[in-house]
Amino acid sequence: MVKNNLSLMDNRFANNYVVRNVVGSLRLMLEDKATMVYFSYLVFVLFLGAFGPMLAPYPYDETLYVNGEILRSAPPSLAHPLGTNNIGQDIFSRLLYGARPTMITGLLGGSMIISIGMTVGVTAGYVGGRVDNTLMRITDVVYGVPLIPFAIVLVSLFGIGFVQSIVVIGLLLWRGNARVLRSQVLQIRERPFILASKAAGASRTRIVFKHVLPNIAPMAVLFFSLGIGFSILIQATLAFLGVTSPFIPSWGVMVRSAYNSGLMSQAWWWSLPPGLMIAFTVLATFMFGRSYENIAGQGNEEAFVQAG
Residue type for position 199: A
Interaction residues for another protein, span 236-275 (CB under 8 A): none
Which of 15, 40 has the CB closer to another protein?
15
Q: Minimum Å distance from CB 34 to another protein? A: 25
Give the SS3 label for residue 84.
Answer: strand
Q: Is 200 in the site for another protein (CB under 8 A)?
A: yes
- Out of 86, 115, 215, 245, the residue judged to bind another protein by CB under 8 A: 215
User: Cα separation of 136 and 162, whole Å?
Assistant: 30
Cβ closest to another protein, residue 67 vs residue 306: 306
- Rounded to 10 deg, the angle between the 251-260 and 213-241 helix axes is 20
Cα–Cα distance measured from residue 201 to residue 281, given in angstroms and rounded to the nearest whole number: 46
Give the CA dihedral 300, 305, 306, 308, nearest 10 degrees: 130
DSSP conformation letters of 15-34: T-HHHHHHHHHHHHHHTSHH
For residue 306, how many other CB atoms are within 10 A of its CB?
Answer: 7
Looking only at residues 20 through 39 of this chain, which bind another protein when binding is defined by CB under 8 A?
A: 21
Question: If we measure between CA atoms, which residue out of 28, 92, 16 comes closest to residue 60?
Answer: 92
For 11-107, list the strands marked E by DSSP: 65-66, 69-70
81 binds another protein (CB under 8 A): no
User: Whole-angstrom Cα distance, residue 298 to residue 292?
Assistant: 10
Judged by beta carbon, residue 78 or residue 200, the one nearer another protein is 200
Residue 135 φ/ψ, nearest 5 degrees: -60, -40
**Applying CB under 8 A, does 197 fall inside the site for another protein?**
yes
- DSSP H or E segment with residue 158: helix 147-158
- The least distance separating another protein from the CB of residue 5, rounded to whole angstroms, comes to 6
Q: Which of 8, 36, 148, 153 binds another protein (CB under 8 A)?
A: 8
Asked if 267 and 73 count as a contact pair (C-beta separation under 8 A), the reply is yes
Q: Which of 11, 133, 260, 266 touches another protein by CB under 8 A?
A: 11
Query: Cβ of residue 180: shortest distance to another protein, in angstroms?
Result: 19
- 53, 161, 214, 246: which one binds another protein (CB under 8 A): 214
Is there binding between residue 111 and another protein (CB under 8 A)? no
12 versus 33: smaller Cβ distance to another protein: 12
Rank residues 206 and 290 by Cβ distance to another protein and give the closer one: 206
Closer of 92 and 126 to another protein (Cβ): 126
Give ∠ CA 258-156-61 in degrees, rounded to 5: 35
Residues 177-196 that bind another protein (CB under 8 A): 191-196
Residue 201 makes contact with another protein by CB under 8 A: yes
List residues near another protein by CB under 8 A.
Answer: 4-5, 8, 11, 15, 17, 21, 191-203, 206, 210-211, 214-215, 217, 299-300, 302-304, 306-307
